[in-house]
Structure 1
Amino acid sequence: MNAAFDTAAIRARAEAAKTIALEVGREAARFRRESDPGTLAVQSKGLQDFVTIADSRAEQAIRHGLISRFPDDTFMGEESGEESRGQSDGAGTWVVDPIDGTTNYIRGFRYWAVSIAFVVGDKVEIGVVYDAAEDKVFHAVRGGGAFKDGLPIHTATTVDPANALIILGHSRKTSFDEYLALSKRLHERGMDYRRTGAAAIDLVRIAEGAADLYYERHLNAWDMLAGALIAEEAGATVAMPPVETLLAQGGPIIAQAPGLADEFAFILDIEGLAG
Structure 2
Amino acid sequence: MSSAFDLSALEARAAAAIEIARHVGREAARFRAEKGSGLKVENKGLQDFVTVADRNAERAICDGLLGLFPQDTFVGEETGGGAGSTGTWVVDPIDGTTNYIRGLPHWGVSIAFCAEGRLEIGVVYDAAKDSVVSAIRGRGAFREGTPIRAAATSDPANAICILGHSRKTSFDEHLSVSRRLHERGMDYRRMGAAAIDLLRVAEGAADLYYERHLNAWDMLAGALIAFEAGAKVAMPALSALLFEGGPVVAYSPGLAREFEFIMEIEDLAPVTD
CA distance in 1, matches of 2:36, 2:201: 33
User: What SS is found at the alignment partner of 2:167?
Assistant: coil
What is the total number of aligned residue pairs between the two structures?
270
CA distance in 2, matches of 1:57, 1:162: 44
Moved over 4 A (4+): none
The corresponding residue for 1:271 is: 266
1:57 match: 56
Q: Equivalent residue for 1:34?
A: 34
Q: Distance in 1 between matches of 2:39 and 2:177?
A: 38
Output the CA distance in 1 between the equivalents of 2:227 and 2:3: 23
The alignment's TM-score, normalised by the length of structure 2, stands at 0.96
Which residue does the alignment assign to 1:47?
Answer: 46
Partner-residue secondary structure (3-state), 2:151: coil
In structure 2, what is the Cα distance between the partners aligned to 1:274 and 1:203?
Answer: 18
State the Cα distance separating 1:48 from its structure 2 match.
Answer: 1.6
Cα distance in 1, alignment partners of residues 3 and 260 from structure 2? 36
Given the alignment of the two structures, is residue 202 of structure 1 paired with residue 197 of structure 2, yes or no?
Answer: yes
Matched, 1:168 2:167: no
Q: Give yes or no for contact 1:205–1:211 (8 Å, CA) kept in 2.
A: yes
Post-superposition offset of 1:114: 0.1
- Separation of aligned partners in 2, 1:107 and 1:39: 10
Rounded to whole Å, the distance in 2 between the matches of 1:251 and 1:4 is 27
Task: Give the aligned partner of residue 69 of structure 2.
Answer: 70
1:1-275 equivalent positions in 2, closer than 5 A: 4-41=4-41, 43-82=42-81, 89=85, 91-274=86-269
Cα distance in 1 between the residues matched to 2:211 and 2:223: 12
Aligned partner of residue 45 in structure 2, secondary structure: coil
The letter for the 2-side match of 1:164 is: A
What residue ranges of structure 2 are gaps of 5+ in the alignment? none
- Report the Cα distance in structure 2 between the residues aligned to 1:78 and 1:176, rounded to whole angstroms: 24
Distance in 2 of aligned mates of 1:141 and 1:32? 30
Uncovered stretches (5+) of structure 1, i.e. residues with no partner: none
For the 8 Å contact 1:2–1:120, the answer to whether it is kept is no
Q: Percent identity?
A: 68
Distance in 2, Cα, partners of 1:157 & 1:11:
29
Distance 1:185 1:95 in 2: 33
CA distance in 2, matches of 1:20, 1:177: 40
**Distance in 2 separating the partners of 1:40 and 1:259:** 45
SS at match of 2:135: strand
Alignment CA distance shift 1:77-1:2 (3 Å): farther
Q: Following the alignment from structure 1 to structure 2, what is the Cα–Cα distance between the partners of residues 40 and 162?
A: 43
- Distance between the aligned counterparts of 1:273 and 1:28, measured in 2? 35
Instruction: Give deviations 1:2-44, integer Å, cap 9, x for gaps.
Output: 5531111110000000000000000000000000423320x21
Secondary structure of the residue that 1:50 maps to in structure 2?
strand
Q: Give distance in 1, aligned partners of 2:150 and 2:39.
A: 39
| Per-residue Cα deviation, 1:40-91 (whole angstroms, up to 9, x for no partner) | 20x211112111000000000000000000000000000000157x6xx3x1
Distance 1:274 1:15, change over 3 A: closer
Distance 2:164 2:121 in 1: 23
